[in-house]
Amino acid sequence: MADAAQLTRLIEPEVTRLGFDLVRVTLSGTKHLSLQVMAEDPKTGQLTLDECATISRALSAMLDETDPIEDEYRLEVSSPGIDRPLTRAKDWTAWAGHEARVSLNEAVDGRKRFQGIVRGLDGDTALLEVEGVEVRLPLADIFSAKLTLTDALIKASKPLSSEGADDIIEEKE
């Protein structure tokens, strides 16, 4: 069966051809497999439902043709959301100043889990400020990293459309 790295190499060119950036590919489950493809519009950092559908249709056709997964699976295409994962080197620069939780494969300073403020990138090392101290986390050792939902992050993440928002507010009043 294909692993996430092999699937990423297969999926990324198709997502890029459609004008989007690939954020993450995961294959999970044992009895019922799910192939999750997370992508974004490079201009907005998000996807609309129509964009998800466009990517899904293109990937379905390509995956049916190449058949990289032996078993049955469900394809899920999504936007990264506000509390998005930090999966690419550029994410550590783009989201500097925001809080994140990080889990490592190998311990750094005796720890595998950190929570702090993203401070950027230095080569192949993510910088995270934890309790006023800069911690250097090798990108290759990061198991998972995700932004923490905060008021500052919500303010920094602009919705794609606020159409109809006034109607909702009027109904609540």
169, part of any domain: no
- The answer to whether 35 touches 72, Cβ cutoff 8 Å, is no
In a domain, 166, yes or no: no
- Domain shared by 61 and 115, yes or no: no
Which domain CATH number covers 132?
A: 2.30.30.180
**Is 64 part of a structural domain of the chain?**
yes
CATH number at residue 63: 3.30.300.70
The percent helix, strand, coil of the chain (3-state, each to 5) is 30, 35, 30
Question: Minimum mean pLDDT among 96-105, 108-117, 133-142, 158-167: which range?
Answer: 158-167
Residues 61 and 111 in one domain: no
105 lies in the same domain as 129: yes
Let me know whether 107 and 151 are in one domain: yes
Distance (Å, whole) CA 60 – CA 65: 9
Average pLDDT over residues 43-53: 93
Give the domain range for residue 119: 89-156
pLDDT digits (tens, 9 = 90+) for 49-90: 999 999 999 999 999 999 999 889 999 999 999 999 999 999
How many domains are there within the chain?
A: 2
What are the residues facing 112 on neighbouring strands? none
- Taking all residues of the chain, what is their mean pLDDT, rounded to a whole number? 90
pLDDT at position 162:
47
Q: Specify whether 66 is located in the same domain as 11.
A: yes
pTM above 0.85, yes or no: no
Cα torsion 87, 91, 95, 97: sign: positive
Nearest one of 67, 95, 78, 86 to 157, comparing CA atoms: 95
Q: Is residue 164 part of a domain?
A: no
Residue whose C-alpha is closest to residue 52's, from 75, 34, 27, 78 = 78
Residue at 83 is within a domain = no
